Amino acid sequence: TGKARQVTSGTETVQSLSWSPSGKEVAVALRKSPRLDDLFDTDLHVVNVETGKLRPLVVRPGLDSLPIWSPDGSKVAFVSHRGKYDWIGNTYLCVVDAAGGEPKALTTGFDEVIPW
């Protein structure tokens, strides 16, 4: 319809998001508050645009952010601290099945921070 409507609610802050290729879902990186202390503690969820229901995708300590859907909608790539709460540690490019499952780090040999 071209009309804007809110599809999420709650106390979490959306840090980053990515629309699915179908346009029916949005992958979001949520943190518990906008406070700087919570900047590196995010989890990935998928929002059903029709219902607003959240589905956990990657929930673990530390940074999991900048979700990007694969063109076919089967996977979500993201930047991560791989389960560690770390302000200055390495970040990794990871991927997870859009339906859920165990995330896989693609850049374990990269000893640096991926800018996010």
Q: Show the low-confidence residues of the chain (pLDDT under 50).
A: none
pLDDT of residue 116: 63
Model pLDDT for residues 75-91, shown as the tens digit of each residue: 999 999 877 777 677 88
Chain centroid to Cα 95, Å, comes to: 10
Q: Which pLDDT does position 91 carry in this prediction?
A: 86
> Rounded to a whole number, what is the largest CA-CA distance in the chain?
47
Range 4-11 contact pairs with CB under 8 angstroms and sequence separation of 24 or more: 7/47, 7/49, 7/52, 8/47, 8/52, 8/54, 9/52
Return the pLDDT at 110. 78
Query: How much is the pLDDT for 79?
Result: 94
Q: Which tokens sit at 77?
A: 């790539």
Instruction: State the number of CA atoms in the 13 A half-sphere of 94 facing the CB.
Output: 25
